[in-house]
Amino acid sequence: MSLGLRFQRLMRKQGVIAMGFLAPSVLGFSLFYLIPFVIGIVYSFMDKTSGGMFVGLANYETVLGSGSFRKAAWNTLWFTAVSVPLLIVVSLVLALLLNGSVYFRRWVRTAYILPLVVPVASVVMIWQIVFDWNGSLNAWFYGLGWGRIDWMKSEWARAVLLIVYLWKYVGYNMILFLAGLQGIPKDYYETADLEGAGPVRKLFNITLVYLTPTMFFVVLISIINSFRIFRETYLIAGNYPHDSIYMLQHYMNNMFMSLDVQKLTAAAVLMVICILAIVSGMQSLERRFRRFME
């Protein structure tokens, strides 16, 4: 038997083994995610789920014409546009600080990772105690002679949500940036020192340039996580929070509670299209950057 034929059989056998290991994951993903999503797309074009008729884009027109949906979409986009750049800047600054010789660096890294380990539901009570009308923060303000603030029933709710988002994900992004920073060869910085380059020049000409692939990934993950802030918002503020933090997931959750499956699925499809557009745009920018660097 020729060596080439043996190699082909070996590769075929390895492929069968690989498919066997992947089969449970593929089956689970298809059963719990892919198939329900496809069914949801079908429902979004029907007038009802059982024995319904095809109504075309009528459900999408109804959703887009809804003031609640437009408010939820605007709040979600606003939160993403503000929170993601803020998260990137904070996590990058922390990563740059921890990448140097910082005392207790390992312990500080562990502290920033803890929010990813601790379940959100178990710490929501702390946020409620802090930002409640009779909470600890208002108690401190009262002790200083300042007025109380209704944090979750005013425009300040956006600030509270930003704080929770940063607290939750800054550690994860920081670790990703640290991995990217430690992958930059030290020779580049030594050469820059010999040429008399300052810290700012090294930051923009070396660090940020070679950190760009990591930056694309971190921005993409941060955008996706910003669409998942509903869990924290729901646990803190409930089904009907202040208008400023009424998100797309709130709209879909309320449609589910009223069993309006058609509007729910139409809104979900629109959100998925928006996320796919953002992801495609980020991937296109990354490919262009790679070609530019090559």
**Per-residue model confidence as pLDDT tens digits over 161-192:** 898 888 888 888 888 898 888 888 888 887 88
Is the confidence at residue 124, as pLDDT, over 80?
no
Q: Which of 86, 57, 65 is nearest to 161 (CA)?
A: 86
Q: Tell me what pLDDT residue 289 has.
A: 76
Is the confidence at residue 85, as pLDDT, over 90?
yes
Is the confidence at residue 104, as pLDDT, over 60?
no
- Residue 218 contacts residue 177 (beta carbons within 8 Å): yes
Domain 66-293 class, CATH top level: mainly alpha
Is the confidence at residue 126, as pLDDT, over 80?
no
Q: Tell me what pLDDT residue 259 has.
A: 79
**Structure tokens of 5?**
């034929």
Condensed to tens digits (0 to 9), the pLDDT of residues 196-254 reads 778 888 888 888 888 888 888 899 889 888 888 877 787 777 777 888 888 888 888 88
Residues 6 or more apart in contact with residue 207 via CB below 8 angstroms: 96, 181, 184
Q: Which of 62, 65, 69 is nearest to 44 (CA)?
A: 62
- Residue 79 contacts residue 247 (beta carbons within 8 Å): yes
Condensed to tens digits (0 to 9), the pLDDT of residues 135-146 reads 788 888 877 878
Model pTM score: 0.81
Q: Tell me what pLDDT residue 83 has.
A: 92
